[in-house]
Amino acid sequence: MKTQYQTDRLELRVLGRDSARTVLDFYSKNAEEFARYEPLSIREAKSLNYHASMLDYETQYFNSESLLRLYLFRTEDPFTIIGTVSFRNIMQSCYKCATLGYKMDRDFRNMGYMQEAITKGMEIMDEELHLHRIEATVMPDNEASMHLLENLDFQREGLVRDKVFFDGAWQDHYIYSHIFEQNR
């Protein structure tokens, strides 16, 4: 895997510890919104040390090809993160699968950027890592995310009860999957 990719309107980059301030700015701006759908506390979202540590973690797992997190930048503003797409738990051998995650800056939603970025990420998972299956989980009240996945040819497989504990309770999630056409 490479550390930088391009689409028509985006630069997608793997970032290291030296970008912790830029990542902090992205999370700080969107902390309350992100807290609705993931177990990241607002305190963590606004901590430079937390993001530096996470970037170290991401680098370690990127190097072992078990995680790819791409930070999204518009080509006309290559210094401001507008979103992130991640493929984690990348497994080879008989599994050939990964789990998709994503988040978008509130000011850049509904502009097609995330669909463009995920499409590129899926291409990487297919053509470079030769995966067979990508999974994504979505909270049942996140209609925008479900719509995005369905537009990307993900199929809803069912409801996973009590999937993640955050916001003081166990949260159900729908599980979606995309199967690449080639039988590997």
Alpha-carbon distance of 170 to 164, in angstroms, equals: 6
Mean pLDDT of 44-56: 91
Q: What is the pLDDT of residues 84-136, one digit of tens each?
A: 999 999 999 999 999 999 999 999 999 999 999 999 999 999 999 999 999 99
- Ranges 22-36, 65-79, 144-158: which has the least confidence: 22-36
Please tell me the predicted confidence (pLDDT) of residue 142: 94
Domain boundaries in the chain? 4-179
Reported pTM: 0.94
Q: Which CATH superfamily is domain 4-179 in?
A: Gcn5-related N-acetyltransferase (GNAT) (3.40.630.30)
Ramachandran category for residue 90: left, alpha or beta (phi over 0 → left; psi -120 to 50 → alpha): beta
Mean pLDDT of 32-43: 80
